[in-house]
Structure 1
Amino acid sequence: MPKQSPLQRPEAFATTLGAWFATHAKDYPWRRTTDPYAILVSEMMLQQTQIPTVLGRGYYTRWMERFPNVQTLAQAEEAEVLRTWEGLGYYRRARFLQQMARTVMERHGGAFPEKLEDIHALPGVGRYTAGAVMSFAYDRAAPIVDGNVARVLARLCDDATPVDSTEGQAKLWERAELLVQAAPSARAHNSALMELGQTVCRVSSPTCGQCPVQEYCLAKEPASLPVKGARATVTEVTERVFFQRTEEGVLLQQETGARRTGLWKLPALPEVEQLPAVLHKSRYTITRYRVTLWVHEAPPARKGKPLQQEKAARVIPHDDLANLPMPSPYRRALNALLAETAFRLEA
């Protein structure tokens, strides 16, 4: 009997997928709750961060302990919000969460909205996140399309249309809508599609023999799908900063760029004829940039003299350093420098 795509038999497909998920679902804390706020927090964290990192390093747990609801998050100081988020990167997500909490308090009386259009209108909430909250919190038939779902759907339908193209996105959302409408539980169905992509229909090594819905899969060469457009090239960037410490504390500079506004870092090294000695070197990647971070001694003009205030910079007392929000690359560099027992305070 020839295979049929899930679009031809959506109810049967949803039933088969749901039965598999009932016995193979992984246990995540956000699957133990129907609180839309808790689910939104998990979705925002998972946008740019893998599940093992979010759970294994305790980010989700710490956030929910400190900000268990929209009220506590709305009332918090931004610095504390950023410090709690520290290590996850892409700090706009943390700011969006706080803006969302304040919007819920101001426009919805503290009650999380239940309409898809109202959820979608919250700061930082896109189509996928709105659908995730609707289906996971309220069990309503809203489609979701993330990387896992896109891969599963492209293979099931044997579709080589680039998934990151306008046409590809339109197809994916249309198919996701059709399938979730046919499912007895939107919560279980959307979770199952994601789980299938994470554990069976994987990126480079799909285990098709273990797939519970292989009778609905039309892919002839599953590993070749999905097709994506040309990837952005990685740009090498050099970043030079300096470390100046006194008995009062460490000179730090507050970020002003859109990506890291409000965070603190080691001050940028001003233009000098000769680079001061290197104290620390590390590398990190952010979006399409691979950054080499060089930490130098303070420039000669600053040694042994009163600190010259850089733009948006001030001396942070040693006792306050741990509570200051700081990008992870700078936190690691600062901790390494402070831990060096051979480094003496500047005169």
Structure 2
Amino acid sequence: MPDPSLPQLRRRLLAWYGRHHRQLPWRPTPQSQIPNSKSEIRTANPYHVLVSEAMLQQTQVATVIPYFDRFVEQFPTVHDLAAADEQQVLRLWQGLGYYRRARHLHAAARVIVDHHAGRVPDTLDELLALPGIGRYTGGAIASIAFGRRAPILDGNVARVLARLFAIDEPTDQPATRDRLWQLAEQVLPRKAVGDFNQAMMELGALVCTPRQPACLVCPLQTLCLAQLAGRQAELPRRSIRHAPKAVRHVIVAIERRGKYLFEQRPATGLWSNMWQMPTHESPDSDAPDSLLPWVRETYGLTCQSAGDQHEFTHQTTHRTIAFSLVRVQVAAGRLLPNRGVWRKLDALDDLPLSNPQRKAVTMLVGEKPTA
């Protein structure tokens, strides 16, 4: 796209964003609406922007909204978040997935309180020094919360740029990502940078969608090289992805007098520090009886099978996990020290559980699990 098109691109996109942006609880009022606004003007709250950007990584806006509302109600300031126990943070994050984001956000809040007097840093370099803050998240916070001229590049922005500039190379290749970052900086105006970055993301989310983009209502259609060439459906390109690794986990619901055993996962790895019913992650057999010796050796409990076996699948970025849920009852033995806690299934509010574990609990109480 020649340079003379950039002023037109910026004007059109900012005007479109002023008319069509979604009202989101963390989003400030666009600058174009401030002079004659009849509604309350909402300015950027840097802490809210920090929380929302952490939650929005790899998660859709509609999913994030209720989590964001509950989170900032419980932790209204960065000081409140920094003072919280990690288990409190994980409980509020429960169900949102990608729990490392929650731990990084919690750690970042503590750094902000300890080293920045409780104020979210306003420069990109300082933001990048916080735990869990990468180039995209740092640019989003710097531009939206503080008006810093910092480019952003998420999936939505990469798709918009790939179509605008008709980029044929796969967008997930390092060289192409570098080029997209350069384009993101090239198109960025000197003013209203926060609105412009949000407008690029909004256009990708609402109009320039992965499939069947709504080119007829796009404010940039006459500037888009892919649309002008009739190639919007084939761009952007991605490298061939490897199929997720197939693995099997068996959740063993160990029941004793109406209570079930729960343990905390290790501090590293998948679902770290979350709680679970004992889960055998590399079983030699799917048969429930084959796990009874493992239960006796690991937990000191002699058990007998009780109830049917249930199956469900959970998809992560790199794994397709086939879960089996088996229920066993304690016949003899005493739980080894520091191996877990006994809880009734209706008394788990203080234990953060991953989505598969929550689904397993729902199955045990006889309710239909949510997708």
**TM-score, normalized by the shorter chain, greater than 0.5:** yes
1:288 aligns to what? Answer: 318
> Shift in Å at residue 316 of structure 1?
3.3
Contact 1:6 1:13 in 2 (8 A): no
Contact 1:15 1:183 in 2 (8 A): no
SS in 2 for 1:31: coil
Contiguous gaps of at least 5 residues in structure 2? 29-42, 291-304
2:239 aligns to what? Answer: 229
* More displaced stretch, 267-276 vs 77-86: 267-276
> What's the CA shift string for 1:207-236, capped at 9, x where partnerless?
212111122111120111111112121222
> Shift in Å at residue 7 of structure 1?
4.1
Partner amino acid for 1:297? R
SS in 1 for 2:199: helix
The equivalent position to 1:173 in structure 2, one of 171, 177, 181, is: 181
What is the alpha-carbon distance in structure 1 between the residues aligned to residue 342 and residue 248 of structure 2? 25
1:60 aligns to what? Answer: 68
* More displaced stretch, 25-34 vs 91-100: 25-34
Identical columns (%):
37
Structure with more contact order per residue of length (Cα contacts < 8 Å, sep ≥ 6): 1
Partner amino acid for 1:286? T
Contact 1:116 1:134 in 2 (8 A): yes
The equivalent position to 2:358 in structure 1, one of 331, 341, 346, is: 331
Partner amino acid for 1:156? L
Corresponding residue pairs, total = 330
What is the alpha-carbon distance in structure 1 between the residues aligned to residue 101 and residue 357 of structure 2? 19
The equivalent position to 1:98 in structure 2, one of 95, 106, 112, is: 106
What is the alpha-carbon distance in structure 2 between the residues aligned to residue 41 and residue 294 of structure 1? 35
What is the alpha-carbon distance in structure 2 between the residues aligned to residue 36 and residue 123 of structure 1? 16
Contact 1:241 1:268 in 2 (8 A): yes
How has the CA–CA distance of structure 1 residues 49 and 238 changed in structure 2, closer, same or farther, with 3 Å as cutoff? same
Partner amino acid for 1:291? I
How has the CA–CA distance of structure 1 residues 6 and 255 changed in structure 2, closer, same or farther, with 3 Å as cutoff? farther
What is the alpha-carbon distance in structure 1 between the residues aligned to residue 86 and residue 98 of structure 2? 15
2:118 aligns to what? Answer: 110
Q: Does 1:211 align with 2:218?
A: yes
Mapping of 1:121-270 within 5 angstroms?
121-180=129-188, 182-219=189-226, 220=229, 221-247=231-257, 249-256=259-266, 257-269=268-280
1:16 aligns to what? Answer: 12
Contact 1:135 1:142 in 2 (8 A): yes
Partner amino acid for 2:333? P
Contact 2:345 2:361 in 1 (8 A): no
Q: Does 1:316 align with 2:317?
A: no
Contact 2:255 2:327 in 1 (8 A): no
Contact 1:17 1:213 in 2 (8 A): yes
Partner amino acid for 2:16? W
Partner amino acid for 1:264? W
Contact 1:71 1:105 in 2 (8 A): yes
The equivalent position to 2:83 in structure 1, one of 66, 75, 82, is: 75
> Shift in Å at residue 248 of structure 1?
6.7
Contact 1:6 1:156 in 2 (8 A): no
1:345 aligns to what? Answer: none
1:343 aligns to what? Answer: none
The equivalent position to 1:48 in structure 2, one of 45, 58, 69, is: 58
> Shift in Å at residue 183 of structure 1?
4.8
> Shift in Å at residue 159 of structure 1?
1.1
Contact 2:310 2:325 in 1 (8 A): yes
> What's the CA shift string for 1:166-221, capped at 9, x where partnerless?
111111111111111x3531011111111111111111101212111122111120
What is the alpha-carbon distance in structure 2 between the residues aligned to residue 17 and residue 326 of structure 1? 42
Contiguous gaps of at least 5 residues in structure 1? 341-347
* More displaced stretch, 46-55 vs 306-315: 306-315
What is the alpha-carbon distance in structure 1 between the residues aligned to residue 121 and residue 339 of structure 2? 39
> What's the CA shift string for 1:14-54, capped at 9, x where partnerless?
11111111111111111134111111111111112111111
Contact 1:164 1:229 in 2 (8 A): yes
What is the alpha-carbon distance in structure 2 between the residues aligned to residue 215 and residue 149 of structure 1? 18
2:37 aligns to what? Answer: none
Contact 1:253 1:314 in 2 (8 A): yes
Relative to the length of structure 2, the TM-score reads 0.83
What is the alpha-carbon distance in structure 1 between the residues aligned to residue 247 and residue 338 of structure 2? 22
Contact 2:123 2:148 in 1 (8 A): no
* More displaced stretch, 149-158 vs 46-55: 46-55
Relative to the length of structure 1, the TM-score reads 0.89
* More displaced stretch, 329-338 vs 119-128: 329-338
> What's the CA shift string for 1:46-86, capped at 9, x where partnerless?
1121111112xx11110110111110111111111101100
